[in-house]
Amino acid sequence: MDKVEKSDSEWRKQLTEEQYYVTRKKGTERPFTGEYNNFKGKGMFRCVNCGEPLFSSDTKYDSGSGWPSFYEPAEGAPVRTETDRSHGMVRTEVLCDKCDAHLGHMFEDGPQPTGMRFCINSAALDFDPAENE
């Protein structure tokens, strides 16, 4: 997989202010405000930075957290995790491995079959509806 590498000014030109803040500066959108929090469409959620498919709507669920939540990435998705020690706590950060975009965080309190909750910022995602939508 070829990495997507752009300068800071290139990312600023491509992304909205909120998308840039969340994905390039590791920000977080306010809970319950994101476009995809209560979204019920069927299809694929993609990285807003590089367009890679990340999460299927089939794995999305309402976690009550205020952010779109998924119990696993799409098959073959370039999703990686890293330890995040910011803000005085230890969490698992979720990133797009193709472009290093910050997506959100993962927690081990999700539903089966994985028990994981990928808590992802709407600002980090684009959505492609399924063809039968």
Annotated catalytic residues are 119
In this structure, the dihedral spanned by the alpha carbons of residues 8, 11, 12 and 16, taken in order and rounded to 10 degrees, is -150
State the distance between the two ends of the chain, measured CA to CA, in whole angstroms: 30
Name which of 118, 27, 108, 21 is nearest 77 in CA terms: 118
Edge-first strand listing for the sheet containing 125-129: 53-56, 43-47, 125-129
